[in-house]
Structure 1
Amino acid sequence: MAPRKLAAGNWKMNGNLAALDQIDELRAACPAPACDVLICPPAVLLHPMAARAGDMIAVGGQDCHANAAGAHTGDIAAAQLKDAGATYVILGHSERRADHGETDAQVAAKAAAAHAVGLIAIICVGETEAERDAGSTLDVIGTQLAGSIPAGADAANTVIAYEPVWAIGTGRTPTLDQIAEVHDFMRDRLTGHMAGAGDCSLLYGGSVKPGNAAEIFAIANVDGALVGGASLKAADFAGIVTALDAAN
């Protein structure tokens, strides 16, 4: 078994019902992709997107609560995401860690909740620019992996996404060697934290575009991408899906 190839789009706090036309365009542009294709829209669009996506495109949430239910105004339980049509959920994204103060332990608890209802957890890790400049990137990634992956995680229910914080939405990307260093490190480090680590999909995220996707996907241990802005337009995301297909 080899890691699944996955092109995952994170719409973040963007889009409306009219934007679901992009799903139709993406299906037309990539009618039979060899890789898995996923879109994670805002929660209010999850159910209508799932109804429109068909079998070709999976849909997912952008976060979930660690508890199954309760008095948590504004939060969403993993089971509610699944009920709306989700099969994945993004957890521990740097924007959640920074804007909401999420800790590794909280991310691990959310991932455990996702696993409990059958969702695949995409656990995000990544260093800030200051941490990169200080030469502590691998220490930061190692700590996040150790603290954010719950017991029971395996290659079937967990995906890891490396997103250097300083490359998200900035137009900057690490060098190919820097990406390779982190992905090789993650593959090795996961051996101590996850069953079937060699088969776990490792995604790169951070200013991935059609123009740089092919060279990123040619790197060993890069099994796909977690894409932000370029996933909002079908033409751009289709270019990334096509590049990942070609890398298979």
Structure 2
Amino acid sequence: MAFNPDTSLPNRHRLVLGATGAGKSQLIRAVIPARGIRMIGWDPDEDHDGHHFDNRAQFARAVARGVSSGKPFRLLWAGAIDLKTWEWWCALVFTALDGRTPTEILIEELADVSPSAGKATPKFGELIRRARKYNGGLTMASQRGTEISKTVYTQAAEYWIGRQEATDIPRMSRLAAVSEQRLAAVEPLHYLCKRGPDITWHRLKFEGQRRILTELTE
């Protein structure tokens, strides 16, 4: 069970949407610090740096050790991606949360563990609804925004939208409150960010090993 709840904590959940090649994982690397944090991830394709596991018991022990150490860690699941494993992972992550210490929760390819666009699965629903007051911030990524649970849209505070497939543009333009033509013109490594009524545009560029996310003026 998560501990030390604090209802004053802000909602840090973000949803990153984009077609293949839009630069979702690159954006995530830019917005989540590379070191000095507690991060637990669902990363089946091992796109992110950290210690990856494909054994449940080993992963659970590593999470328990990380939490008890009080030190930063980056622990990522890269094993089975069936729904039973997904629900186990969500439940485990929730027990690791501590309202006094921020935890970044990374979820890649959310559509793969979304059985429908309806209500979230039970343990994922609990995690996304209750993580905020235990200082957990979810960063969720998906290629197809039309295939993930509606619960995600009601709980996310921030949306990052990259290049979209043509069939997804109508839905995403309504979500972002921009024209279909404007969204269709988004290039790889360019993103719209929507937080509440505020909309900003950004570009990600590289300088050596550094990723620099720059806000654009239209």
Q: Give the TM-score normalised by the residue count of structure 2.
A: 0.43
The structure whose residues are more often helix, as a share, is: 1
Of structures 1 and 2, the one scoring higher in RCO (CA 8 A, sep 6+) is 2
The answer to which structure has the higher strand fraction is: 2
